Structure formats: structure tokens, C-alpha cells
Chain A
């Protein structure tokens, strides 16, 4: 830095630093050489604060993360004073493991500690542990299983195993209990508990609320169903009056499980619902669909509380930002026009879209938020997973390509828990690690 400052001929730019991190520096104008890059700026902050341990920072200028030097940025924008917001930097994501699958995997869930749940197009749900060992293969559905989630158990008994909720193209969602044996020699116990009957078209997603008592299903038939997780003893659905021969035979093949009916049906969408998720606390739900609408549901009153209607944006996926200071509990929705849009649900106005994250590569098909309230990952059909910060809408923080060397593999699902990002798609499942330097 000292050598930089001695070169007098170099032009310098006035810079103002702001931050929301716990490392603030006094708001004043710094004259900074225009050739400085992120590294020098980060060093400057560290020196100014005299931190005991070096914390790398990233710098955001006008909603775009700073790559290259300040002079390039100032030349492109033609501005005099540069306002830099600095955030803690993210290390480049590292690939941790690859979990091979024979068929395409449609979804992954990392929410169970130490486990990866994957659902595949062959209808099976597979459970891996963190040592990449396949614990269990549960052939639950005869058609593609579109999503899987683990119902948090209300009773704290490990011997109960996992209660899985799956949704499928065979028009049903199922509750399945997988009991893990005590000794590895025994076979795991897979019990199909209930089949959730409402939809007349393939289901696109299922989600369980944090308390583990309610399930939310979304389907192509524009409906959302709310089910509880209690296991019925008898069929709640009237026996099928259809005497079709081949239907009967096919149903006989499947294991007979009690059929459940929904607690409530939410109908407001006019086209396929692509994903639905519970909001924090389980009081409400958010769904997105092909009718370019983001709907916020009041589940208790079974009404649509708020609707954000976009124009010609068939939404494919949904993620909820935690209600922090920056994200504000917004909804991220990925649409087929290659953009992820952040909708601020607090805004009552029509213009609720607060930021748009353009994916030039391909259609973003899946979104996931982690523990960081301002960051999310998006996976696209171009096989690239991007890490975004909501403050930097112009450029992603980091991006990496999965299934390197296997051609074009679509990412169909991402999930993020703590520093583990699970990516499922055409080429199987990959697990990556995203860490911050400071933590």
C-alpha cells in the first residue's frame, strides 16, 4: 500500500465506505488510487480497523459486486464519487462429494442433519449420509417423485426413523416412514403410511411446516392442498367408483395405504403451481405458478392474502429470504425468462419487485436460501449454480458448474443448509461447500 501511495502520477478517486457488517469504519471520504482492486480495498479496511484476524471483504457498487479495479468501474459509469458497500467475502465454493444416481434426480433435501434425501425420476427416494454412503432406497412412487422433505418428528425418538413426505407425478403425495436398523446387517424398514389424495394432475412440490404437523402440496392442476401429518387408520376417500379394468389391476400392484383427504384446498392460481413453501413460523404459505403470480396464503383462513402479479413470467421455483434487515422476508421467484426476481411482500403496491437477478446462461430452475439472510443460490438449466447476494443484483458473488465434463446437465433442485449446498439434477447429485472466511 505504501508503494502504491508513493506513485504520485496515479489518479485517485474519492471513495465512501458503508457497511452493515459488524466492522464499520467512520463515514468519510477516502482518496483511493483508481487502480485498486478488491484485494487492496479489503486490506485498507482491515488496516483501518486494525482487526486481529484478517477478514476479507467484497465491495458492492450500485448493486453490483466490484470485479476489476475502480478505474474501470468509474470509466463505465462516469461517476466522480464512488460509494462502496463492503460485505464479508465468500470463499470460492468447493466441491465436496458426488452422489451418483442412475436416473435424473428431481430434488434434494439437506434439512435433516447428516443426511441427504434425494428423489429420483425412477420414483425412489434415496437417503445418503455425509460420508456419501447410501443408507436406504425407498421405492415409494411408481412415477417420478418430484420432491421430498423430511417431516420433523414431534417425538424425540431416534428409533422412529425418518418420516418422509414425497410428491409425485402419479397424482399423489405420500407419507413414508423409514426406520433405520440398529445394526447395519438388518434391512431398513420402509412403511408407507398414507397417500394424500387431492390432485388430478402431477404434483410439483411438497413442503412441511417447521412444526412438522402440516404439509403443503402444489400441483399442476392449479390447486394447493394442506394436509396434516397424522396417519389415518382407514381410507378417508370414498372407494373409487371407476370400474376400469386396467386401473384396478395397476392399483392392486401398489401397496394399499390409507388415503388421506386435505384439511384445506387453496385455489386461486389459474395455471400450474410450480412450488409452494411455508413461511417462517408456519403461519402462512407462499406459492408461485405458471400464471406469473406470487401468492401469499393465509392458511388458517384458507384465503389468498396477497398476490403479486408479474407480466409474462412463468415462475419455476421459489425461495424465501429470512426476515432480516436486508432481505426483509422477501420472496425470490425464478422465472422462465431467465431471471430471479425478489418480491418484497411488505410492499402493498403493485411494484413489489425490488430486484431482478438476470441469468444470462439459462433458465433458473431452482432456488435455495441458507442461513445467511442476504444470500441465496440458484441452479439453472445450463448446469451452473450461482451464489447471489441480494445487494448485488448485477453480478453473482460466485458461480460454479456442476457435473463438469459430462456435457450439459440441468440442475433441477438445490438445497442449502449451513455451509452445505446440495445440487440435484440430470447428472445426479453433487454436494458443495460454501464458507465465509471469517466463520
Chain B
């Protein structure tokens, strides 16, 4: 209605006028013919038309002013049925014209404040989305001239929707005129209609009274019940039960919204009822044959007491669902269920009660995994030199340790007294004892050479066997059909430092790693120099050396022989490759994820492998599982230097530059399904860190839970349990 015609500063009055007009029309009391009160049909018709008219009126009033006509003219006709005059309104044509919503208004922006378009050149959009431009408006002079020249100018009003002046129609002018006179704006309203005396008027007198009974006494006696109610309130006020100016609520105005609400806890939600068990195959009307009881089982079920029965029904087979009889135990079952719900205490289960300590893997206590090395029993000192390598003899009695100045010391494990010292004068890279028991010697590596050294005080039989092996009287024939080996094997007299020397081709550098095969005939050495010439496999009995790899990708760090199978482990800088020496092919490449591998050792069973790196990681590989580590441990704070498995005890040790030796219990099961159990046991600290280097080598005493470790501070320590 606001969006429709806007009377200048008189829209309120105009609306009021219209409303009044509406009321007048709807009520329409004056128009009702006194004779028509009995004509219900006509009345109804009138009302219906009135309503229609009302709707029409509203619709038209919300549309633009061009189609504005306030009330349709009613015609008074003589009813053909009753013979009485009646008002007939023009028929409403249900075409598009009658629907104001589809009228062709140019501006379709809807009922919005039109001052939004004040600063714009257009006033809205038409039905096609095109802008409806503001019509050109004259200035004040034009307006003045129009008032002078145009006689209708002063009866026109500004239409905001179209932004132009529209001349008012005669009906509108009439309404304005009436409003100015404070009259009813409806022209057809007559305020002075004669009074109709409905029950006493001419021809309308009541012949029969509505009730012939005498007026009851209560009509003029004060109400007793009202008095009682009032007195009740009065008494309550007197007794103070009703306080006139009582504060409405004692509840605090502000309270902790998220606070602990004791009231809510008092009315906890009822516990959910336990769910009945879901039916299984046995409850099916046609269960599989294995669920059907045999005759014996059925008899046993019938003989048993109802409490002793495993299930309270007998699985029965029905060939079709329509043959299933009514459920005979329905009442009992419902009753039992109700009893359960009534009697069974309900426990509210908290879903997630997880103890954080339960997430920690359950490892046995180290005290239950004894024996393992626990204390420093002995310390053997190389003066002013880093001890680079050590080896413990297979009988567990002697330790040979080699330092960077080229001194190799042989000493007793149990006493720590040096028995013999050999001086080579150049740095020693590795030292390993031959694992054979019928001979006794060890191999040390210096620049481009391997020296085979025999310890003193050997039993005569062992000494002779060793001598015959390393310095035989007649040399074995050179293998036929091969080029002369680049490595030269030279035997020396027994008085020399080394009984046998293998000179590797020059340029390889100091062999950093020596690995013996289990049988003690083959040994592999890894030179520190780059290129494929690094890895050599030497056969002592044939006095022959060969380089097994034509081409090696990456610098080889460490090699090991498989203890059982003819396999060969080669650790390059990033990967560990396993070769089959019999078939001469690559079996597997392990990916430790270590940036630079420093050490490696094979479990005595040959099924597991540990790899350590300069980036502090220690990876355990289960060779039967995957080429990814089974477990990665990063317990050292500096680079790992050496790793060693114990030959018989389930122990392994890792030595690191942080000066500590870490011991692990590693239980490996023969059952392939069981995972190895790795338990950190102890950190042995006793070496000093010198120039950033800590423990450089670690070894185990065969047959004893004793570890030997060599450090950069020149100390070699025996750890006993």
C-alpha cells in the first residue's frame, strides 16, 4: 500500500480513509435491506461478493494508480427468485487484467525503498531486466508553467514508481475532498440511516418471549462464590502469603552458563536398556542343517532343566515361511524380557577408558633378561691413539685391538695384560679373527694390504696347522684359465710380524671392513677407495683374491657373509643388497632409509640384519618379512659407529660417537609368525669423547655375556655382567 500511490504528506490520512472505507463496506449494515434478513441465500451471496470485492480492493490498491478504482459500482437489481431488490457487483473477469501482479507495470523492482535509485539514471528494471529510465523532469520553471498552462496540473500527483506526475482520477479527488471535510471517504456511506428496532419495531415485535421463567434470584443477589474467592485472596494477603510488591524471581540474573550443574546431575538421563540378543542362524525358520539338533541332542534338551539349557528353543526347520506356526513362547519371552529390564541393574558404560600407559608396549624388565654386560671390568689403554678396530678370539680368551698409529695389541680378556704388540706404522682399518678353531690367527688391514698374524703360545697342533695354512711348503697351483690375480700373496718367515701378507692393487686405500665366512676359508675386505675395486673376496686355502663385482653403484661401506646360506650382504651408502654367491645374482635390496650407512651385522641365524647409520638410526630387518625395516630405533645422540650381534646370547650392541654403548636384548623366535622382541637393556658409558669421536668398535666375547668396546680416547673396555 505504501508502494502504491503516495499522497503527498497525506498518505496516513489516505490510508486511514481507505481503511475506514473498507470497514464500512465490510460491515455494510446500513445497506442491508430489512426485508432480506430471512434470506440467507442472498446474504451469503452478498457476503461472498463482499469478500471478493475486498480482495479485489486490496489487490487493486497495491497496484499502480493508473488502474485505481476504489469500489466497483454495485447495481441494484430485483432478484428473480425472491422478488426483492439486491446488489449485483460486476463480474470479475479472471484474465490477466484482473490479476494485478501480472499487470504490465514497467518498473518491476518490487516493494523496495525507491530512494535507492535517487542517484541513478533509472528507476528500476522492467520484466526483461532492462533499465527503466527516469523520465525527463522539468525544472521549477516548467513546473510553474505547467501549473499556469495545464488546468489539470494541480490535481496530479507524483508517482514515485514511475517518477512522473499522474493526474488523479475523479474518485480520488472525491476521496481527498471528503477527507478534507473530515467525512467518511466512502461516498456511498450514509451516517444518518434510520434506526432499525429489531425486536420492537414495526412488524418485528416478539410475539413469544424467549423464556417464560421468572428471573432467578441470583440475578440480583451478590455471588457467594465470588465472595469466597475474594475472601480467600484477602485472607492470603492478610496472612502474608501473597505479597503485593514481591520480586518476581529469586533466580540470579547472571550465572555460569557452562558451570557444573548439580541440578542436571540429579536428573540424569535414564540408562539405555540393554539390547536383546540378535537372532542367529539357529533362530531361522529354515536353519542350515548343521544347526538342527539330532535326535539325541533334542532328547537331551528336553530332559534338561529349563535353567540348564544352552538355548531356550529347539531349532526347527520349516520348508516355507507360510508353514511357520505361531510363536508359542511369545508371552514367556516378553515376560522374561520385561523382567530383565525391571530387575537387571544397568551399568552405564563409559565407552573410551584407555589408560595411556596401556599404549606403551609391554616389554619385559631388563632385570629379567640377565645376563648382559653391566659394569666395566677392565680397561686396556692404547697411549695417544684412537683404537679403530678390535677382535675377540673365537675361544674368548684374547682380544686384539688395533689403533690408528698401527699398533696391534694382543691381551687377555680377563686380565687385560698385553701379551704381544705388533707395530705396522700405518693406520689400521679393520681386524678380524679367523673363526676356525683348528687354526688361530687374525687379519689386520693396513694401506692396500692384509696381514695375517698368528698369536703366540699356541698349542703345537694348532700352531703347525696355522703355519701350514698361511705359509705352506708348496704353494697351491694358480687357477687355470684366469689372468694373474692383481692381489699378491706373500708368506713370510715365522719371525716376521705377519705370517702372510696379501697386497691389494694400489690405490684402494685402507680396507675398512673385513668379514670372514663362517667356515674361515673366505674373507671379504672392503677398501675405502672409490670404485668397484673396493670389495675383494679372498680364499685362504687357494691363496687367491678376486673382485666379485664388476660395477658397484655407490660406495660400499660394509660387507657380511650369511652365516648359513651362500649369500653376501653388501651395504652401500644408502642400500643393503643381498647377493646369492652361488647363482651370482642380486636377491634383494633393502631400504633402510638411512642417509649414510656406517655399520651392519647379521644375526647368527641369518634371518635378521641390523644396520646402523651416521644419522643415528639403527634399523632391524627381518629378512623374511620385507625390504623395509621391521624396527627403526634412534636412541643414540650421535652417529652409530659399530654394531655387533652376540653369537650365542640374544644380545646386540651398538656403539656411537656419543661415547655410549647401547645394549639390546633381541629375542628371535624360530616360529616365523612371531615377531622378534627387541628390548633396550642398558647404556654403558665409560668412553670419553675425543675430537667428536666416541666408541669406534664393539665386539662380544664368544660364549660369555661380555662386551668389548674400543674408543677414540685410546681405551678398550671389557664390560662384564
Contact = CB atoms under 8 A, between A and B. Distances in A.
B607 to A, nearest CB: 26
Contact of B370 (A121, A312, A336): A312
Contacts of B417: 104, 106, 121, 144
A172 B127 CA distance: 125
Interface string A225-269: 000000000000000101011110000000000000000000000
B57 to A, nearest CB: 107
Given A337-B721, A363-B720, A410-B416, A381 B378 contact: yes
Contact of A337 (B467, B493, B720): B720
B495 A246 contact: yes
B378 A410 contact: yes
Interface residues of B, number: 32
Contact of B371 (A246, A272, A312, A365): A312
B377 A290 contact: no
Nearest to B462: A200
Given A381-B377, A408-B379, A169 B720 contact: no
Interface string A386-425: 0000000000000000000000101010000000000000
Interface in A307-334: 312, 314, 316
A124 B643 CA distance: 41
Contacts of B379: 408
Interface in B85-113: none
Nearest to B459: A200
Given A242-B464, A337-B371, A363 B377 contact: yes
Contacts of B457: 143, 169-171, 202
A338 interface: yes
Interface string A87-114: 0000000000000000010100000000
Contacts of A144: 417, 419
Q: Is the interface of A mostly helix, strand, loop or mixed?
A: loop
Contact of B463 (A220, A221, A247, A314): A247
Interface string B153-195: 0000000000000000000000000000000000000000000
Q: Could you say which of B414, B416, B417 has the most chain A C-beta atoms within 10 Å of its C-beta?
A: B414
A353 B704 CA distance: 22
Central interface residue in A106, A338, A381, by most chain B CB within 10 Å: A381
A51 B80 CA distance: 160
A201 B462 CA distance: 10
Contacts of A201: 395, 397, 459
Contacts of A161: none
Nearest to B721: A337
B409 to A, nearest CB: 14
Nearest to A170: B457
Interface in A131-186: 143-144, 169-171
B472 interface: no
Of A271, A337, A362, the most chain B CB neighbours within 10 A belong to A337
A84 B457 CA distance: 54
A362 B377 contact: yes
A314 B704 contact: yes
A171 B464 contact: no
B459 A244 contact: no
Nearest to B704: A314
Interface residues of A, number: 35
B494 A245 contact: yes
B414 A316 contact: yes
Nearest to B706: A336
A316 B457 CA distance: 21
A200 B419 CA distance: 18
Interface in A200-216: 200-202
B461 interface: yes
B240 interface: no
A220 B415 CA distance: 14
A170 B456 CA distance: 9
A436 B721 CA distance: 36
Contacts of B461: 200, 242
B375 interface: yes
Interface string B686-721: 000000000000000001111000000000000011
B456 A410 contact: no
Contacts of A169: 419, 457
B419 A240 contact: no
Contact of A336 (B377, B395, B416): B377
B465 to A, nearest CB: 10
B227 to A, nearest CB: 89
Contacts of A221: 459
A188 to B, nearest CB: 27
Contacts of B481: none
A410 B414 CA distance: 11
B398 to A, nearest CB: 10
A246 B459 contact: no
Contacts of B706: 336
Contacts of B214: none
Nearest to A245: B494
Contacts of A363: 377, 720
B345 interface: no
A170 B455 CA distance: 12
B378 A271 contact: no
B377 A272 contact: no
Contacts of B495: 246
Given A144-B417, A338-B375, A410-B416, A242 B460 contact: yes
Contact of B456 (A143, A244, A290, A337): A143
Contacts of B371: 312, 337
Nearest to B420: A143
A237 to B, nearest CB: 11
B459 A240 contact: no
Contacts of A365: 415
Interface in B445-499: 456-457, 459-464, 467, 493-495
Contacts of B378: 381, 410
A365 B460 CA distance: 29
A200 B370 CA distance: 32
Nearest to B379: A408
Contacts of A106: 415, 417
Nearest to B371: A312
Contacts of B370: 312
Contacts of A121: 417
Nearest to B703: A271
A256 B461 CA distance: 20
Interface string B352-393: 000000000000000000110011011100000000000000
Interface string B390-430: 00000101000000000000000011110100000000000
Given A121-B417, A144-B419, A272-B397, A246 B377 contact: no
Contacts of B720: 336-338, 363
Contacts of A338: 375, 720
Contacts of A337: 371, 374, 720-721
A106 B494 CA distance: 28
A412 B415 contact: yes
Contacts of B419: 143-144, 169
Nearest to A249: B494
A144 B417 CA distance: 10
A121 B419 CA distance: 9
Closest 6 CB pairs of A and B: A246-B494, A200-B459, A312-B371, A336-B720, A363-B377, A169-B457
Given A220-B395, A221-B459, 11 more contacts: A143-B419, A143-B456, A169-B419, A201-B459, A246-B493, A247-B463, A271-B703, A312-B721, A336-B377, A336-B706, A337-B720
Interface of B: 370-371, 374-375, 377-379, 395, 397, 414-417, 419, 456-457, 459-464, 467, 493-495, 703-706, 720-721
8 contacts: A143-B419, A171-B459, A200-B460, A201-B397, A202-B397, A220-B397, A221-B459, A336-B706
Interface of A: 104, 106, 121, 143-144, 169-171, 200-202, 220-221, 240, 242, 244-247, 271-272, 290, 312, 314, 316, 336-338, 362-363, 365, 381, 408, 410, 412
